[in-house]
Structure 1
Amino acid sequence: MKIAYVTVQLPYGPQESFIIPEIREVQRQGNDVIVLPLRPGEKIFHAEAEFLRKVSDDTRLFSVGVLREFVTELFLHPLKAARVVANIVRKSKNVRILLKNLIVVPRGFYFARLVKRCRIDHIHAHWASTPSTAAYIASFLSGIPWSFTAHRWDIAENNMLDEKVRTASFGRTIDAPGRREIIDATGADARDGNVITIHMGVGIPGQLPLPSIAKDSFSFLCPANFVAKKGHSYLIKAVRIAVDKGLDIHGDFAGDGPLEDGLKKLVESLQLDGRIRFLGRLGHDKLLEMYGGGAVDAVILPSIVTSDGEKEGIPVALMEAMAYGIPVISTDTGGIPELLNGAGAVIPQKDSAALADAIERMAKDGSYRDTLRKLGRDRVLRDFNLCTNVEMLIGRMREN
Structure 2
Amino acid sequence: MIIGVLKEQLPEKRVSLVPDIVKQLGKQGVTVWVEPDAGAAAFHSDDTYIQAGAALMPRTDILQQSDLVCSIQIPEDWHLLRAGTILAGVYQPLHHHDLMQQWAAKSLTTYSLDNIPRTTRAQSMDILSSQANIAGYKAVLLAAVSYGRYFPMFMTAAGTIAPAKVLILGAGVAGLQAIATARRLGAVVEVFDTRPVVREEVMSLGAKFISVEGAADASQAGGYAVEQSADYKQQQEVLIAASITKADIVITTAQIPGKRAPLLVTAQMINSMRPGSVIVDLAAGTGGNTALTQNQQTVFHNGITIIGDSNLAASMPADASKLYAKNVFNFLQLLIKDGQLVNNLQDDIIKGACITHEGAVISERLQAVLK
Same fold (TM over 0.5): no
Give the TM-score taking structure 1 as reference length: 0.34
Give the TM-score taking structure 2 as reference length: 0.36
Q: Which has the higher strand share?
A: 2
